[in-house]
Chains A and B, each alone.
Chain A
Amino acid sequence: DIVMTQTPLFLSVTPGQPASISCKSTQSPLHSDGKTYLYWYLQKPGQSPQLLIYEVSSRISGVPDRFSGSGSGTDFTLKISRVEAEDVGLYYCMQGIHPMYTFGQGTKLEIK
């Protein structure tokens, strides 16, 4: 089974400052079709998780460009260039090599 490990588990960030979350997998989510099925979600309080980034670095339409994803192999990163108050919540990475999906433990972002 693929295990996803996120660090840190908690972030307290001043508005306007950057933030970064690491996600490491025990196996690469690289599929035989050449795509890497690594996703990033944000779950805001009281809401369902919303997809921010798919296939490592592609932003979903409507997601602000201050969010960016990068990485390859087993090491991936989500960066927020300038944190805003609306960015608070739980961030999860997920690998999606069917037939198995695995989430990271989640990183809680709060605003200082």
Chain B
Amino acid sequence: QVQLQESGPGLVKPSETLSLTCAVSGYSISTGSYWGWIRRPPGKGLEWIGSFYRTGSTSYNPSLKSRVSISVDTSKNQFSLKLTSVTAADTAVYYCARYPDHWGQGTLVTVSP
């Protein structure tokens, strides 16, 4: 059974970098499938952040592309999200997922001084 678990700081200061990690169990990232990150700001809908296939072919939401990067560590079977120069608008619940059917429980990240 595929399971995903997000981890990282719940509070980030404005202008700093948001960093989250998604630990995957029950399935090897190297095997295949598309993986990535989605977020849901308070009171708003889901927003796709970015995705990758195995260890290559990464793509990002054009609205975030200049600030976002996703990296993969196959030895630990996990992948990470970095979002730079954050503002209050980046406050959201962040989910990692194996598209389209397995999602983590989500982690709330608040951007505040």
Contacts and interface: CB of A to CB of B under 8 A. Distances in A.
Interface majority SS on B: helix, strand, loop or mixed? Answer: strand
Contacts, number: 52
Contacts of B45: 90, 92, 103-106
A98 B51 contact: yes
A99 interface: yes
A94 B57 contact: no
Contacts of A43: 40, 46
Interface size class of B (residues with CB under 8 A): 20 to 34
B100 A48 contact: no
Interface of B: 34, 36, 38, 40, 45-48, 51, 53, 57, 59, 62, 95, 99-101, 103-106
Interface of A: 1, 39, 41, 43, 48-51, 54, 60, 90, 92, 94, 96, 98-106
